[in-house]
Structure 1
Amino acid sequence: MKSIPRFRGPSIVVLASVHILLFVSGLVAGSVLRHGASFITPFAPAEQVRMFFNQSPMAVRVSSFFLFGSAVPFGIYAVTTVSRLRYMGVRAAGTNITLLGGLIATIALFFSGIAGWMLSVPDVSDSIAVVKAIYFFSFLCGGVVYAIGFGLFAAGVSVTSHFTRLLPRWLTFLGIVLAITGELTWFSLIAFPANFFIPITRYVGFIWMLLAAILLTRGRKANPASAG
């Protein structure tokens, strides 16, 4: 009787935890280094936006450093999750959707972090037009693009896990809800109130991805048919 090979790959629980820790560290560090100054959105008056970056370069640089870094464990988490789903016998298009969404979200975090870092450079933050353009790019990548990518990722994992019973129904339902809120952020490009879906997708998504990682790791072993 042929033995079923053990899954070989990094722990998706650890990767999810590191991603969340790095992202939250960026928020905390940025808040502390701003010395009480309130966060400002790219929709604020141009001069206020320029002054925010001109007066808080270290806060912007450190928070962008953590945001950029958080993309690495998330990207590894995404591709490892796809690998684990295939190891567990999933042979559906959902795994490719999961991979696509994970790559979109990862690249979005990289671009958002590096664009934010650029705004910490004094020569850049002196120009109102340049600051506005780069900040909108960073905001859109870290917000809309990330949320849409994460929504696709959550949809791919949840739908395939629902049909193969790899995750409990309540968690697959939550993943589908996150997929919907993630895709609804697209409407923020024409209606500002739709930005409300971005923090829902991100912060509830943290809980979902960690729970999904734990339960997938504890799930059944490889499908014997696929292991052969």
Structure 2
Amino acid sequence: MNDIQASVRSRRRPDGPPAGVLALITLAATIASVIAHANDSDRWQGVFVFAASVPLGIYAATMYARLLRLGIRVPGPNISFFGGMTASILGAASGLVSWAQSRADALPVVVDHLMTDIGFALGGVGMVGGLGLLIAGIAVPSIILRLVPRWLAWSGLVLAVIGEVSFLALVWSGFDALLPIARFVGLIWLAIVGFRLPRSRHDVPARWSRRA
């Protein structure tokens, strides 16, 4: 009888897209954008950056729903959703700016530099800042409620701090190195959490409460 009731609850409350897979797709598109940039293909770089923004936004919505399903009523789910949507929107805008910049045959140097700076501000500092909030909104409740192994939750909090501190790249280029760390390692973290985070409150005690 309990199995039947659980099955009915599962059908009534679908989990949505697999969050871990969405993060991996985002990571793959992000890597593809770096490869395109290395090959001097700014047009394809813009395409891949834009492509990466779509599954990231879906990931944020999916994890928001899962955190609420776990009974979390603190600001964490809202922070993660806000951060994820911010990262997705700014990443998409950056990709479109790069694509538009590549379409111009010749731009005045000042205009070209301006568009490059806008792309960096949107897809670099802005996107990573949002990504940090997405990670923080998941990591903090995971630490408090022991939703995932402790090492995973705390490493997420460290990545979130790196992502937020990276805004200092706007004033000193020495902080530029933080951006790829927060972006790539952060996406890997999101993929792992997407696969490991419990799907319901009934899974929490059995999986992590005694191990964390």
TM range (shorter): 0.7 to 0.9
Query: Counterparts of 1:212 and 1:81 in 2: how far apart (Å)?
Result: 10
Aligned to 2:111: 130
Deviations 1:133-188 (A, max 9, x none): 11100011111111111111111100011112111111111111111111111212
1:14 aligns with 2:10: no
Q: 2:166, 2:175 within 8 Å by CA — same for their partners in 1?
A: yes
Query: Counterparts of 1:201 and 1:28 in 2: how far apart (Å)?
Result: 18
Aligned to 2:180: 199
Query: Counterparts of 1:162 and 1:220 in 2: how far apart (Å)?
Result: 16
Report % sequence identity.
34
Q: 1:10, 1:80 within 8 Å by CA — same for their partners in 2?
A: yes
1:139 aligns with 2:146: no
Query: Counterparts of 1:156 and 1:137 in 2: how far apart (Å)?
Result: 27
Q: 1:89, 1:223 within 8 Å by CA — same for their partners in 2?
A: no
Match of 1:61 among 43, 55, 61: 43
Deviations 1:23-46 (A, max 9, x none): 1122223334x3xxxxxxxxxxxx
Displacement, 1:127? 1.4
Query: Counterparts of 1:26 and 1:152 in 2: how far apart (Å)?
Result: 23
**TM-score normalised per structure 1:** 0.81
Aligned length: 196
Q: 1:29, 1:63 within 8 Å by CA — same for their partners in 2?
A: yes
Deviating beyond 6 angstroms after TM superposition, the runs of 4 or more aligned structure 1 residues are: none
SS at the partner of 1:110? helix
Aligned to 1:170: 151
Letter in 2 for 1:99: F
Matches within 5 A, 1:25-40: 25-32=32-39, 34=40
**Structure 1: runs of 5 or more not aligned:** 35-58
SS at the partner of 1:167? coil
SS at the partner of 2:175? helix
Aligned to 2:129: 148
Q: 1:112, 1:142 within 8 Å by CA — same for their partners in 2?
A: yes
Aligned to 1:52: none
Query: Counterparts of 1:153 and 1:146 in 2: how far apart (Å)?
Result: 11
Query: Counterparts of 2:199 and 2:191 in 1: how far apart (Å)?
Result: 18
Q: For the aligned residues, what is the CA RMSD? A: 1.8
Aligned to 2:84: 102
Aligned to 2:206: none
Displacement, 1:130? 1.1
SS at the partner of 2:102? coil
User: Whose helix proportion is higher, 1 or 2?
Assistant: 2
**TM-score normalised per structure 2:** 0.86
Displacement, 1:96? 0.6
